[in-house]
Structure 1
Amino acid sequence: MICVTRLKKGLFWGERRREMTDEENLSDFEDKMRALEEAIKRDEEAFYGDRTIKEAYNPKNVGALENPDGAASITDHKGDTMQIHLRVEGNTIKDSKFTTDAYGPTIACGSVITEMVKGKTVEEVLRIGEKEIESVLGRLPAENVSSPVLAVNTLKAALEDYKKEH
């Protein structure tokens, strides 16, 4: 009985135990999440180039064009899918959009390739290859070499779709 009384009064700890408020719990959680995010960012920066990270987190040209002049969807050997839509006026790419179900490096490749093609002729775009994407993005680990390949193959398929109709 004495032990129970002491526990209730908090005498074993020298003072009463207090409950953390919701605000304190949230603050502690937020601190841990910030530390985790910073650790992830450091790992990403060691693994990928700055431009790849920038494009993956803030991609350009995401979405679909209504009534595109050319469009394609390709799924690669890993099961990653990319779609590219093109708007072409007078043999020049005026707009391009992409979507993908893949993660960072593939998102970065979709963003870069859809930005690269704007203002170029169909013939110029056909000469874009994986190396051009890699030179813009910088460092891509070996396990991500299929990402620029998927972007280029999807772009070329969208151009083929455009050529069939025009």
Structure 2
Amino acid sequence: MSKDKDVDKFAQELQKQILEQIRKRYSETVIDHWQNPRNFRKIENPDGHAKVKGPCGDTMEMYLRTDKENISECGFQTDGCGTTIVCGSVATELALNKSFIQALGLVSADEILKRLGGLPQSDVHCAQLAAETLRRARAN
């Protein structure tokens, strides 16, 4: 076997082992949002924007655009970990096509956690960061 094939085989096996460990800790919904984050983008000239730094040092920005009274576009960016990305992804999905008042009532850390099937206690702050960033984006 050539060195390239050995390296490829090693990388594939390592990736498989990592995913097995992740599946022991996180739901399939978490893994899906981690591998395919929704609305991970900056929106130019948003109607609402906030940048919040969480207690772990992760920063999240959220951008909102409205169409009359509803949130027609919602995007986010973060320099945070995979769980922060997952929570931002779910928060934006929950907020889309809702009025600000509906979104603020619906997008809470508890609701994000519920949609994800829960998170380890050490990651709960990521859901809190996403919910708080959305709340502040509305205020701007």
In structure 2, the residue matched to 1:57 is 35
1:139 positional shift: 2.9
Q: Output the amino acid matched with 2:137.
A: A
Tell me the CA shift for residue 135 of structure 1: 1.1
Percent of paired sites with the same residue: 34
The 5 Å alignment of 1:1-166 reads 24-127=2-105, 128-161=107-140
Flag as ranges the 4+ runs of structure 1 deviating above 6 A: none
Q: What TM-score do the two structures reach when normalised by structure 2?
A: 0.96
**Paired residues of 1:53 and 1:104 also in contact (CA < 8 A):** no
**Letter aligned with residue 81 of structure 2:** Y
Q: By how many angstroms is 1:131 displaced?
A: 1.2
**Where do 5+ consecutive residues of structure 1 fail to align?**
1-22, 162-166
Distance in 1 between residues matched to 2:83 and 2:48, nearest whole Å = 24
Matched residue, 1:4: none
* Structure 2, gaps ≥5 residues long: none
- RMSD of Structure 2 on Structure 1 (CA): 0.9
Equivalents in 2 of 1:78, 1:151: separation in Å?
13
Distance 2:94 2:55 in 1: 25
For 2:11 and 2:68, how far apart are their aligned partners in 1? Answer: 51
In structure 1, distance between residues paired with 2:91 and 2:123: 16
Q: Distance in 1 between matches of 2:111 and 2:102?
A: 12
**What are the superposed Cα offsets for residues 92-146 of structure 1, whole Å, 9 maximum, x if unpaired?**
1001000001111110111111111111111111112111111111131111010
Compare CA radii of gyration and give the structure with the larger one: 1
Which moved further from structure 2: 127-136 or 31-40? 127-136
Equivalences, count: 139
What SS does the aligned partner of 1:145 have?
A: helix
What do residues 133-162 of structure 1 show as CA deviations (whole Å, max 9, x unaligned)? 11111131111010000000000000000x
